[in-house]
């Protein structure tokens, strides 16, 4: 479903894995927040150097998703643990060199995003990193409308009807709340990260890399 509704979904997963393998430190942990069915965790488990002693943690607020993740990682070549948590309530992380949030922060209430990122920043080890991929909006209304239409056309091209697109948009209204690139970058910097940059952008989707 995600491949049909999120542009460049597989490519972004590959980019996230690339950043994690590049930035994960020996004998540390990598956290995937909003791990869903564990597909990214599995790719990470298969990609990281088995001799570096890296442990993976999957976090989700759905017990059903965590059960699917456990099954996905049943034969993981590296240690993987799972945590049930509502990110709106904050999260404490330990011994982490990388945190990944793929299409997750956008579902956290706006007022809770700053405190969450601050907690993650404080929990990351020195030289730790945040990989963040989000649906975004443009600060220019005319462009934002065009970005949305491009995204709807992307869905139509993959078999979604206009009715399905409309229902999905209604279901996500006031649930998925996107911010602009600049708003996300400001939020990351206010959390304490010294460096933040874009590594991906497709109209109203963007990937950020932040360094502690």
Residue the block writes with tokens 């907690």: 119
What's the mean per-residue pLDDT of the chain?
94
Q: Is the pLDDT of residue 8 over 80?
A: yes
Domain covering 2-139+170-211 in this structure, CATH number: 3.40.50.150
Task: Tell me the two tokens of residue 94.
Answer: 């330990």
Phi, psi of 178 (to 5 degrees): -80, 150
Summarize pLDDT for 130-158 with one digit per residue, the tens.
Answer: 999 999 999 999 999 999 999 999 899 98
Summarize pLDDT for 172-183 with one digit per residue, the tens.
Answer: 777 889 999 999
Q: Is the pLDDT of residue 1 over 80?
A: no
Q: Are 73 and 11 in contact (CB under 8 A)?
A: no
Q: Is the pLDDT of residue 2 over 90?
A: no
Sheet strands side by side (includes 29-33): 80-84, 55-60, 29-33, 96-102, 124-135, 205-211, 195-202
Task: Kindly list the domain boundaries of the chain, sorted by start residue.
Answer: 2-139+170-211
The predicted pLDDT at position 165 comes to 83
Percentage of the chain lying above the pLDDT 90 cut? 86
């Amino acid at each position: 479903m995600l491949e049909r509704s999120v542009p460049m979904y597989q490519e972004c997963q590959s980019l996230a894995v690339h950043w994690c393998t590049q930035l994960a430190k020996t004998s540390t942990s990598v956290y995937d927040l909003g791990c869903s069915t564990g597909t990214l965790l599995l790719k990470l488990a298969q990609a990281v150097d088995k001799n570096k002693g890296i442990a993976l943690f999957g976090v989700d607020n759905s017990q059903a998703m965590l059960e699917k993740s456990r099954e996905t990682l049943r034969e993981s070549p590296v240690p993987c643990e799972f945590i049930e948590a509502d990110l709106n309530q904050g999260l404490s992380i330990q011994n982490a060199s990388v945190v990944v949030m793929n299409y997750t922060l956008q579902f956290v209430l706006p007022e809770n995003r700053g405190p969450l990122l601050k907690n993650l920043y404080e929990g990351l080890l020195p030289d730790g990193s945040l990989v963040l991929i989000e649906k975004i909006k443009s600060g220019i209304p005319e462009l934002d409308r065009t970005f949305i239409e491009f995204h709807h056309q992307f869905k139509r091209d993959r078999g979604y009807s206009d009715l399905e697109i409309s229902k999905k948009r209604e279901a996500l209204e006031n649930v998925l709340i996107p911010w602009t690139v600049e708003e996300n970058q400001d939020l990351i910097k206010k959390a304490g990260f010294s460096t933040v940059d874009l590594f991906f952008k497709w109209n109203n989707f963007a990937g950020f890399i932040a360094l502690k």
